[in-house]
Amino acid sequence: MEIDVLPEVKDFLKQEQLLFIDGEFQKSVNGSMLPVVNPATEQELCDVHAAEQEDVDAAVKAARRSFESEEWASMDARVRAKLMNNLADLLERDIDILAQLDTLNNGKPLSEMYGSDLPNAIEQFRYYAGWTTKWTGQTIPIAGEFFNYTRHEPVGVAGQIIPWNFPLMMACWKIAPAIAVGCTVVLKPAEQTPLSALYLAKLVQEAGFPKGVINIIPGLGKTAGQALIEHEDVDKIAFTGSSKTGQHIMKMAADTFKRLTLELGGKSPNIIMPDADLDKAIPGVFYGIMANKGEICCAGSRVFVPENQYEDIVDKMVEFAETVNIGSGLDEENVIGPLISKQQFNQVASYIEEGMAEGAEKACGGVLDREGYYIQPTVFKNVTEEMQIAKEEIFGPVVVVLPYTSEEEVIQKANNTPYGLAAGIWTENIRSAHKIAHRLKAGTVWVNSYNLTDPATPFGGFKASGFGREMGSYALNNYTEVKSVWINL
Ligand code: NAD
C-alpha cells in the first residue's frame, strides 16, 4: 500500500520553486522554467526556475563576495562547525519530507532513502563539522637557519555539478567538505531532480549560514552547467556524472586552469569465487546491481562466476530476482522503483534489445508495460566480453554473468574495461580476498559486501571513472590549496 504524501510535501510542491542565490530565493532572470516529473506516474510534479548564464553569474558573484567577506573568511572554525551541525539537525528534523521528495522525484523506494541516502547525507555535515577544527598544516624542519610551515587555504569558489541518481545525498557529499575548509559553493543539481536540493536551500537559510556561502541553482547542463564551467571566477569544478560529460568538462576547465575533480561512470566487476558462501553472495550480488534500480555509478554490472557453477548461480540469481517487488517507491513493499525518465527507460530497453540481438540469452527481466518507467531486474547469460552489454555502462537494472576458470583469468577480465570505479569479491578465503583486491584497478573494493559508503571512507575512480576522492579526509584536499611558508631565522 502506498503511504500518503505528507501535507508539507504537497505544500512545498505548490510553492514557486526559485533559485537560491546570495541567501535569497529568486526568479530566473529570463523566466526560464524546467518541468519536474514523477517517474512512477509520468505526471509533472511542478515546474522550477532554471538558471541561465545571468543567474549563474549572479550566483558566482555572491559566492565570491561571501568567500572574501570578513564574516566567512575569518569565521572561527568552531562557528563553521556549529552551522554545519545546525544544518544536520534540520535535515534530521525534516527527514520524512526529504525522503518523500526524493522518492517522488527520483522513484527510489523510501526504504533506500531511510536505509542509506538520508543517514549518509546527514552524516556528511556532522563528519565534516568535526574536520573544521582539525584540518591543520605541518611544520617542516629545514637544515640551517630555516623552518617551513604549510597552510591549508580554501581553493575559493567551487562550482559543483551533480547527477540525478542520489539527489540529496550527492548534494551533501559535495557541499559538506567544501564549506568545512572555508570554500563557498554554487551547486547545480541535475535538471531531472532539483527538489530535495531546493528544500536543502531552505534549511541552509534557516541554519544561519552567511549569505552567498551556499548557492543552489537548478538548470540544464548545456546552459547552467556550461556557464559554471566556463566562468572565470570559479576556482574549482567538482563534477559527478557521465564519463562523456566529464571529458568535456576536463577540456573546458583547461582554459581557465580550474581545479577539477571528476566522479564518473563505471562497469564494475563483482566476482564470486569458488568458495563463496552463495547464501550471502546471491543477494549481495543482486543488490550490487539492482539497488537504486541499477542507476548507480558503482553498480556491479559484470558478475564473474566459476565456469563449473555457471548454470547453478544464474538459476539462483533468477530465482532471487523473481522474489522482489517492483513498483512505486512510496509503497513499503517495493524494493525496485521506476527508472528516472522516459529517456533513461528507452536507453536501458534498447540495451536489452541489443543484448538479445548480439546473441546473449535473457534469463529473466525486461521492460514492464505499465504506467511509470519500470524495468524488471534483467539477468543476461551466455554473454561474451565483446558484447556491448558487457562493455558499456547501461545504468539500469541489467546484469551480465560471465564465466571464468582461474583466479588469474578473472583478475584480467575484471580489469579489462576503461572504467575503474569499484569491484566486489565474494570469498571465504581472506588471504585471496586481499591478494585479488590489491590487483583490481578500482577505487573501491568490497569484500563480501557491495555498495557500502561512509562519510569517513574515500570514494572515487581509477581510469575513465575519474579522479579525486569524495569523502574522508581525502575530500578536503579537493578544496584546499597548500601554501609553503619559509622563515629565515
Ligand atoms: P550527465 O553527465 O549527463 O549529467 C550530470 C550532470 O552534469 C547534470 O547536472 C547535468 O545537467 C550536467 N551536465 C550535462 N552536460 C553538461 C555540460 N556540458 N556542462 C556542464 N554540466 C553538464 O550524467 P547523468 O546521466 O545525469 O548521470 C549518470 C552518470 O553519472 C552515469 O555515468 C554515472 O555512472 C555517473 N555517476 C557517477 C558517480 C560517481 O561517484 N562516480 C555517482 C553518480 C553518477
Task: Report the separation in Å between the CA atom of 188 and the middle of ligand 1, taken as the mean of its atom positions.
Answer: 11
The response to whether residue 188 sits with its C-beta less than 6 Å from ligand 1 reads: yes
* Predicted ipTM of the assembly: 0.94
Is residue 221 within 8 Å of residue 194, measured between CB atoms?
Answer: no
Considering only CA atoms, which residue is closest to atom 23 of ligand 1?
A: 241
Give 39-96 pLDDT, tens digit per residue: 999 999 999 999 999 999 999 999 999 999 999 999 999 999 999 999 999 999 999 9
How far apart are the C-alpha atoms of 51 and 337, rounded to whole Å? 29
So what's the pLDDT on residue 121? 98
How far apart are the C-alpha atoms of 43 and 5, rounded to whole Å? 15
So what's the pLDDT on residue 328? 97
Nearest Cα to Cα of residue 238 among 403, 230, 246, 198? 246
Fold annotation for 7-264+466-484: Aldehyde Dehydrogenase; Chain A, domain 1 (3.40.605)
The response to whether residue 245 sits with its C-beta less than 6 Å from ligand 1 reads: yes
How far apart are the C-alpha atoms of 431 and 174, rounded to whole Å? 36
Reading the block at residue 206, the C-alpha cell is 534557516
Considering only CA atoms, which residue is closest to atom 13 of ligand 1?
A: 221
- The ligand 1 atom nearest the CA atom of 241: 30
So what's the pLDDT on residue 141? 87
Give 9-48 pLDDT, tens digit per residue: 999 999 999 999 999 999 999 999 999 999 999 999 999 9
Task: Report the separation in Å between the CA atom of 164 and the middle of ligand 1, taken as the mean of its atom positions.
Answer: 8
Residue from 112, 191, 263, 295 carrying the catalytic annotation:
263
HEC per residue, 197-234: HHHHHHHHHHHCCCCCCEEECCCCHHHHHHHHHHCCCC
Indicate the top mutation candidate among 161, 186, 391 to test ligand 1's pocket, ranked by most ligand atoms within 8 A of CB: 161
The response to whether residue 444 sits with its C-beta less than 6 Å from ligand 1 reads: no
**Which strand (E) or helix (H) includes residue 171?**
helix 167-180
Give 382-440 pLDDT, tens digit per residue: 999 999 999 999 999 999 999 999 999 999 999 999 999 999 999 999 999 999 999 99
The response to whether residue 217 sits with its C-beta less than 6 Å from ligand 1 reads: no
So what's the pLDDT on residue 144? 84
The response to whether residue 264 sits with its C-beta less than 6 Å from ligand 1 reads: yes
So what's the pLDDT on residue 284? 98
Nearest Cα to Cα of residue 39 among 97, 109, 120? 109
How far apart are the C-alpha atoms of 401 and 41, rounded to whole Å? 32
The response to whether residue 173 sits with its C-beta less than 6 Å from ligand 1 reads: no
**392 counts as catalytic:** no
Binned at pLDDT 50, 70 and 90, residue 458 comes out as very high
Degrees to nearest 5, angle at CA 466 with 460 and 470: 30
So what's the pLDDT on residue 489? 87
Nearest Cα to Cα of residue 216 among 248, 243, 182, 193? 193
Q: Is the pLDDT of residue 135 over 90?
A: yes
Indicate the top mutation candidate among 240, 248, 392, 417 to test ligand 1's pocket, ranked by most ligand atoms within 8 A of CB: 240
Nearest Cα to Cα of residue 163 among 199, 127, 187, 185? 187
Give 179-228 pLDDT, tens digit per residue: 999 999 999 999 999 999 999 999 999 999 999 999 999 999 999 999 99
Q: Is the pLDDT of residue 143 over 90?
A: no
The response to whether residue 396 sits with its C-beta less than 6 Å from ligand 1 reads: no
Indicate the top mutation candidate among 60, 243, 245, 258 to test ligand 1's pocket, ranked by most ligand atoms within 8 A of CB: 245
Q: Is the CATH code 3.40.309.10 the one for domain 269-447?
A: yes
Residue with cell 590549496: 481
* pTM summary value: 0.97
Task: Report the separation in Å between the CA atom of 240 and the middle of ligand 1, taken as the mean of its atom positions.
Answer: 5
So what's the pLDDT on residue 239? 98
So what's the pLDDT on residue 186? 99
Domain coordinates of the chain in residue numbers? 7-264+466-484, 269-447
What is the average pLDDT score of the chain? Answer: 97
Give 323-370 pLDDT, tens digit per residue: 999 999 999 899 999 999 999 999 999 999 999 999 999 999 999 999
The response to whether residue 347 sits with its C-beta less than 6 Å from ligand 1 reads: no
The response to whether residue 263 sits with its C-beta less than 6 Å from ligand 1 reads: yes
